Amino acid sequence: MNITEVLVQPQAMAWLPWAVQYFFYICSAYAAAILFLIALLFEQHTSHRLRAVLVLTMAIGAI
């Protein structure tokens, strides 16, 4: 099975660089979402800046 890409030559199915980056963004977005929910539960112990950074991390992962 080959993965056909538009901009590069076809390659055998393996851990391509885009796949590693894709999964990294997904994992960081999930981690930020979980930490954001925890920060909302303990709202008096966390700052607005921390929650803003976590939302920004989720947004970057969603793009």
2 located within any domain: no
19 located within any domain: yes
Kindly report the pTM of this predicted structure.
0.58
What tens digit of pLDDT does each residue of 2-23 get? Answer: 666 667 666 666 667 777 888 8
- Alpha-carbon dihedral angle through residues 6, 23, 39, 53, given to the nearest 10 degrees: -40
5 located within any domain: no
| pLDDT of the residue at 20 | 80
Q: Classify 2 as helix, strand or coil.
A: strand
Total domains present in the chain: 1
What tens digit of pLDDT does each residue of 41-59 get? Answer: 888 888 888 888 888 887 8
Q: Which domain covers residue 32, as residue numbers? A: 14-62
6 located within any domain: no
42 located within any domain: yes
Check if the beta carbon of residue 25 is closer than 8 Å to that of residue 60: yes
32 located within any domain: yes
How far apart are the C-alpha atoms of 56 and 60, rounded to whole Å?
Answer: 6
7 located within any domain: no
Confidence of residue 1 (pLDDT cuts 50, 70, 90): low
Residue 30 CB partners (closer than 8 Å, separation 6+): 61
